Amino acid sequence: MSIFLDAAYHVLDNADHPMSAEDITRLALDRGFLITRGATPAATMSASLYMDIKEKGAASRFIQIGPNQFGINGKWEKRSEPGSDRKPQKKEGKREVRLSNSSFTHGLLDREIIAIHTFLNGNSEQLPTSEKICDWVTMCYSLGLYSEGGELFSYVDLDEVNSWYYDRTKKMARLCTLHVSNKQG
């Protein structure tokens, strides 16, 4: 099975709408579902999705909703016409969420924490974007990694993220710093 297809499935399974191959790839890379050194990962993602759908047909995990729009087979329906609504069909009952006990989720968290420590120790081969660092600050706060969250914020470039996201992350980093100060004091 293609790592691109697995990454696409995890991104789309957590999404509330179909997405383009470019958006799927960006989120897969940002969230650590996909690690590649290829020059055109979005093209590889798009080709992987198209080929999987073409070769497997109705047995594919994916469905093409519209031009360059993909979803999970059975989660969303194909558009009946170009201007139709992109929202998923409502299903009866509640969707079960099993993330808290998932070994996959724990593996993702472990990889993200390792990536954070690798970056902070100056051993990263690839520098994360400022948006990714903002995500890490929020994650560190949520997981109680306060010293890491406070330290990460100094690497965020205001010009690379939306101002509201920068301000939100700045507040989270400040909370991290306060937690560290209270622990020491």
Q: How confident is the model at residue 11 (pLDDT cuts 50, 70, 90)?
A: very high
In a domain, 8, yes or no: yes
Q: What pLDDT does residue 148 have? A: 92
Displacement of CA 53 from its chain's centroid (Å): 23
pLDDT(100) > 50: no
Instruction: Looking at the structure, tell me whether residues 108 and 176 fall in a common domain.
Output: yes
Instruction: Looking at the structure, tell me whether residues 40 and 109 fall in a common domain.
Output: no
pTM above 0.85, yes or no: no
Instruction: Looking at the structure, tell me whether residues 67 and 109 fall in a common domain.
Output: no
Alpha-carbon separation of residue 61 from 6, 38, 58, 108, 120 (angstroms)? 10, 24, 8, 22, 38
In a domain, 89, yes or no: no
Cβ atoms of residues 105 and 33 within 8 Å: no
Residue pLDDT, tens place only, 122-152: 888 888 999 999 999 998 888 888 999 999 9
What CATH number does the domain containing 14 carry?
1.10.10
Q: How many separate domains does the chain show?
A: 2
Instruction: Tell me the residue range of the domain where 18 lies.
Output: 3-72
Q: Distance (Å, rounded) from C-alpha 40 to C-alpha 37?
A: 9
What rounded mean pLDDT belongs to the chain?
82
pLDDT(93) > 60: no
Domain boundary among 72, 88, 116: 72
Q: Distance (Å, rounded) from C-alpha 78 to C-alpha 60?
A: 14
Residue pLDDT, tens place only, 41-78: 888 898 889 889 888 888 999 998 888 889 998 876 65
Q: What pLDDT does residue 24 have? A: 93
Q: Which residues 6+ apart lie within 8 Å of 128 measured at CB?
A: 115, 119, 136
In DSSP notation, the chain reads: --HHHHHHHHHHHT-SS-B-HHHHHHHHHHTTS-----S-HHHHHHHHHHHHHHHHGGGSSEEEEETTEEEEBTTBPPPSSTTS--SPPP-SSPPP---TT-HHHHHHHHHHHHHHHHHHTT--SSPPPHHHHHHHHHHHHHHT-HHHHHHHGGG--GGGS-HHHHHHHHHHHHHHHHHHHHHH-
